[in-house]
Structure 1
């Protein structure tokens, strides 16, 4: 029993000793663990410090680099600005630039303008014609030298592009020069209007010579006109201005000759031919139309080469133009219509033109024969296009004169005595074989010499006359 207790005590003691040993080991292990943890913390802190130190060093290095770059940039910028403000953008015109041969390098634009304005002053514009002077004031037409523009261009040569363009232009002037010339500018429309005002005082229309034959030949003399050629005058002005000449500019006046000259009307000195028809049996309406058309186609001077058109002178032969209703042949029938009787006037003039030697351009016979002229010697006209025309092929003018007396119409053509011809009219006519009552005809003009011998036979016209339909 005692031994058992002794063993229990021993075991208990051993257990306590083992427990104490284990606790001691655990304590030592904890101490070791704590020490190791402290070492780790110290190592971590140490590494953190190293990293911080390295970052600071890198940051300082970066800051030094940035500072250096900024410093360089500032230095370069200051240098460029100093260069720009000293040489390029210094308020003065760049080197090697000339205006009108004068060096303006290094000068301020305002100083250049002042000097050029003293040298180049605009004066009154002076024109001359027939020893008379015509003046236009500069301010009236906005006339001035473009000095401001040219100086600004010279100054802006190294200033108005991109920066690099300005630098390029500046350095390019080292090996080359820029030459500028001033010009005179003005408002061209205003200048033209001022010259047109002068033209109104100088322009003169030509005056044709006239002739009137009424029992005797009466003439008036011709006079030539003048007209200011505005475009040529402006061209001379531009040339003078471009050459910077201060001179009186001659007005370019052009002679305008009269179409009908004194010698033309004075060459009409004789009667070439005349022809008379009667309208005694005509009623008042037809007589009115004959007299009206005769008057309109009278007192006409036909110049060499000109063509007489009957319709052009009479116009539309309708009631609106004062023609009355009278018998007229329409489609082979005798009907009443405005203008009846005007063909008697055209036929009378036709016969006179034939006998005087005029060149017959266009003539058409009526569809039926007439009583007031022989067969083949009539000339019908109408508003639908049938016209009677003849041409003056002489070297002198001819004058057409119609007179009405006691219901007799006479047409006389006057001209130069050297153009007078000996002419007969021959009409060949035969019955048309295939048509009852129809007559075919051919009209010829026969030229004869002074002894009456035929020298020429000229075909004029031909056609057919038929009976009037009822």
Structure 2
């Protein structure tokens, strides 16, 4: 056991000896280096001054001059002397002086012999002040040479040279090109111009010509290319560059002279009116309302919407209108005649009819199957200008004659269209409707309405070429006019005040007497005027019309 303990003691003493040896070596090396440096620092080194003189300076002397935390004398930034200033002082001074700004960007655009200066005054400028300050501060703080002494001498010589040859470090700045697009667009977009085709702005009702605004060429500019060039100039610091932009002229497809030559009367429809002054007044009012109306391509006309409700305040008068299969007096009676003239002219102008309804029985002023009724809150007439050009309506009344014309672009190749109606079948009523009337003396009769045949009719568009040859005909509309039985009121009031009855099939009075009540004899309640609903025309076999009362329709 004692032997083992002795062995461990010898190992511990060996380790301590090794550590002491290492420490001694380090101290010797450090002491040697210090001794070398101290000895070397006392040595004088040759430094060549700018004037050629050779200066003898020690390391300490050179380091005392060079090891400073301010800029060396002769250092400038953008022409501004920063000698003796710290990096922070120089940075703050330069930032406060706003050395460069976006006002220095003088990039312009040359357009049609004009020079358009772009405004970059609101742009922020990003200077590289911190970077240049570091670069200027670092000048002569490193030197060339294989030994520290040689490097120090090189630094010192550079620092001496600054006195006669100052070193100026230039700042640069950049502009954020994100806003360049807006600047370029603000200058160029107002110079662009959409091509303007010759267009119709109205219709001269006196001279029957369209009012046409002339065309105007368009101007297109490649703005995107201009933006790219401006950004490139900024990136390349070409702040005085002039960029040439050439417009592209877009010629219009139509000229005023072309429209004037092509536009004219397409169709015209006329018919004689009655001698009823009130009815003719209503017809005249409709003509005056729609006369001169211009519809652009794709625009639609709605009779009831455009004309509005027919009222006495508007000048409409009472005239005959169809109600429950019979004529009666109503405001605006007769306006279906100018509407039918419009319907005909629209068809002959080859425009699209959207909504049309025939009367309860055919009108005498046009072919059967080619009439069009309108009533406020009920039947309506609508069409759309499906041509590629504007159209105008010219409507007038004079001397018991109503005319409606459509003006627009002539039909292709001088073609014209006629509008005709053909009766397919007709069926007369087979009976009379008799109604007992306790207000009439017994046996007397009064016809309330006449009878009308049930008719199926078709309307055709017939196309003719410029020489008057028929090209084709197309079925355009179908109309069904229902059978309307005559209605006769038969008196059933006996002389003694009693009321008889009748045979509804024959109208014969039945002698059975009925005593009238003491109160006022009843009268028929007028029918409720529920607006009709539009039903598409069909060509079903005619049947007798029911005796229930229908809503009114203008005639």
Alpha-carbon distance in structure 1 between the residues aligned to 2:107 and 2:375:
61
Say whether the 8 Å CA contact 1:206–1:226 is kept in structure 2.
Answer: no
Residue 477 (structure 2) aligns with? 461
Residues 1:240 and 2:230 aligned together: yes
Residue 374 (structure 1) aligns with? 367
Residues 1:267 and 2:262 aligned together: yes
Residue 281 (structure 1) aligns with? 275
Alpha-carbon distance in structure 2 between the residues aligned to 1:410 and 1:216:
14
Question: 5+ residue gaps in structure 2?
Answer: 1-68, 72-86, 135-171, 432-451, 487-548, 551-555
1:285-339 residue CA offsets vs partner (Å, 9 max, x unmatched): x544433432343335666x64652438825345499463545446656566665
- What's the offset of the Cα at 1:408? 1.9
Residues 1:420 and 2:411 aligned together: no
1:366-395 residue CA offsets vs partner (Å, 9 max, x unmatched): 2333344332121234565733315555x7
Say whether the 8 Å CA contact 1:354–1:360 is kept in structure 2.
Answer: yes
Alpha-carbon distance in structure 2 between the residues aligned to 1:376 and 1:145:
81
- What's the offset of the Cα at 1:409? 1.6
Alpha-carbon distance in structure 1 between the residues aligned to 2:245 and 2:273:
63
Match of 1:208 among 192, 199, 224: 199
Specify whether residues 129 and 188 from structure 1 end up closer, same or farther in structure 2 by C-alpha distance, changes over 3 A only.
closer
Alpha-carbon distance in structure 2 between the residues aligned to 1:136 and 1:319:
64
1:194-217 residue CA offsets vs partner (Å, 9 max, x unmatched): 669x84998997762566475675
- What's the offset of the Cα at 1:347? 0.8
Alpha-carbon distance in structure 2 between the residues aligned to 1:321 and 1:264:
40
Match of 1:184 among 167, 170, 176: 176
- What's the offset of the Cα at 1:136? 5.9
Say whether the 8 Å CA contact 2:198–2:259 is kept in structure 1.
Answer: no
Residues 1:309 and 2:301 aligned together: yes
Say whether the 8 Å CA contact 1:126–1:136 is kept in structure 2.
Answer: yes
Residues 1:354 and 2:347 aligned together: yes
Say whether the 8 Å CA contact 2:290–2:395 is kept in structure 1.
Answer: yes
- Structure with the largest fraction of helix: 1
Say whether the 8 Å CA contact 2:230–2:243 is kept in structure 1.
Answer: no
RMSD: 5.4
Alpha-carbon distance in structure 2 between the residues aligned to 1:154 and 1:119:
17
Say whether the 8 Å CA contact 2:102–2:124 is kept in structure 1.
Answer: no
Specify whether residues 456 and 237 from structure 1 end up closer, same or farther in structure 2 by C-alpha distance, changes over 3 A only.
same
- Structure with the largest fraction of strand: 2
Residues 1:131 and 2:118 aligned together: no
Residue 461 (structure 2) aligns with? 445
Specify whether residues 137 and 322 from structure 1 end up closer, same or farther in structure 2 by C-alpha distance, changes over 3 A only.
farther
Say whether the 8 Å CA contact 1:222–1:261 is kept in structure 2.
Answer: yes
Alpha-carbon distance in structure 1 between the residues aligned to 2:193 and 2:470:
57
Give the secondary-structure state (helix, strand or coil) at the position aligned to 1:277.
Answer: strand
- What's the offset of the Cα at 1:351? 1.6
Specify whether residues 363 and 241 from structure 1 end up closer, same or farther in structure 2 by C-alpha distance, changes over 3 A only.
same
Residue 214 (structure 2) aligns with? 222
Specify whether residues 293 and 109 from structure 1 end up closer, same or farther in structure 2 by C-alpha distance, changes over 3 A only.
farther
Specify whether residues 362 and 186 from structure 1 end up closer, same or farther in structure 2 by C-alpha distance, changes over 3 A only.
same
Say whether the 8 Å CA contact 2:298–2:386 is kept in structure 1.
Answer: yes
Alignment of 1:78-157 (within 5 A): 109=91, 117-118=99-100, 121-123=103-105, 126=108, 129-135=111-117, 137-139=119-121, 142-147=122-127
Give the secondary-structure state (helix, strand or coil) at the position aligned to 2:284.
Answer: helix
Count, aligned residues: 334
Residue 397 (structure 2) aligns with? 404
Alpha-carbon distance in structure 2 between the residues aligned to 1:253 and 1:260:
19
Specify whether residues 216 and 295 from structure 1 end up closer, same or farther in structure 2 by C-alpha distance, changes over 3 A only.
closer
Residue 298 (structure 1) aligns with? 291
Say whether the 8 Å CA contact 1:426–1:446 is kept in structure 2.
Answer: no
Alpha-carbon distance in structure 2 between the residues aligned to 1:138 and 1:363:
64
- What's the offset of the Cα at 1:111? 7.8
Match of 2:380 among 377, 386, 395: 386
Say whether the 8 Å CA contact 1:202–1:228 is kept in structure 2.
Answer: yes
Give the secondary-structure state (helix, strand or coil) at the position aligned to 1:240.
Answer: helix
1:34-76 residue CA offsets vs partner (Å, 9 max, x unmatched): xxxxxxxxxxxxxxxxxxxxxxxxxxxxxxxxxxxxxxxxxxx
Alpha-carbon distance in structure 2 between the residues aligned to 1:195 and 1:465:
68
Residue 171 (structure 1) aligns with? none
Alpha-carbon distance in structure 1 between the residues aligned to 2:294 and 2:287:
15
Which stretch shows the higher mean deviation, 384-393 or 109-118?
A: 109-118
Alpha-carbon distance in structure 2 between the residues aligned to 1:382 and 1:153:
87
Specify whether residues 362 and 119 from structure 1 end up closer, same or farther in structure 2 by C-alpha distance, changes over 3 A only.
closer
- What's the offset of the Cα at 1:348? 0.4
- What's the offset of the Cα at 1:266? 1.4
Specify whether residues 115 and 233 from structure 1 end up closer, same or farther in structure 2 by C-alpha distance, changes over 3 A only.
farther
Give the secondary-structure state (helix, strand or coil) at the position aligned to 1:428.
Answer: strand
Give the secondary-structure state (helix, strand or coil) at the position aligned to 2:406.
Answer: strand
1:412-451 residue CA offsets vs partner (Å, 9 max, x unmatched): 3355372332635132243247887332222122335678
Say whether the 8 Å CA contact 2:204–2:292 is kept in structure 1.
Answer: yes
Specify whether residues 236 and 431 from structure 1 end up closer, same or farther in structure 2 by C-alpha distance, changes over 3 A only.
same
Say whether the 8 Å CA contact 1:209–1:223 is kept in structure 2.
Answer: no
Residue 344 (structure 1) aligns with? 337
Alpha-carbon distance in structure 2 between the residues aligned to 1:129 and 1:323:
62
Question: 5+ residue gaps in structure 1?
Answer: 1-89, 93-105, 157-179
